Structure 1
């Protein structure tokens, strides 16, 4: 069955930060939602590109040679193999589009690593 997804409604279903939830599938990729606050870990995705679409707030993506500010309604694609560190001074709501194999901490395993992705 084909159904639409209400992003605002889905964001009310969880409160924790840095724990992506799946809201859809597109070919071999997941559409995920996450709330971000604070600084994440430096990491890279060796084999996967990652897209951050900011729904609410402002996200800073630190790269080794630059910083990118992503505002509401904007997105950035981080190419595979590029080290990055997302930072959210205030809570940010993002939509992520990435291959199903993508771990959100990439090549780094920390206590922030989520190994089981929940559907909402």
Structure 2
């Protein structure tokens, strides 16, 4: 069974490099450019893991995480915040909201893949 990952970010370069990397690692990759697109995708596809940017137009990462956490259908879905917000208060807020991991930009793609694999295996 293939693993599904939803990448939610409004930076095209990040999305492209992550999409390429995770496809190479045999993931089914879904892409959303903001939280409202992510929520629309979630209604059709339940991923194993979500890589979620915080600062996005329309619906931000915090609101998207709240949607995931409030919905019984997604209780098995792991969420990693992938964000430029690197203050301790930001990280604590994310962890308090129930995110499974917090990765700050710029990040190592290799380390991120390891972290994703570890979380869902």
TM over 0.5: no
More helix by share: 2
TM-score by length of 2: 0.27
TM-score by length of 1: 0.27
Larger Rg: 1
Greater relative contact order structure (CA < 8 Å, 6+ sep): 1
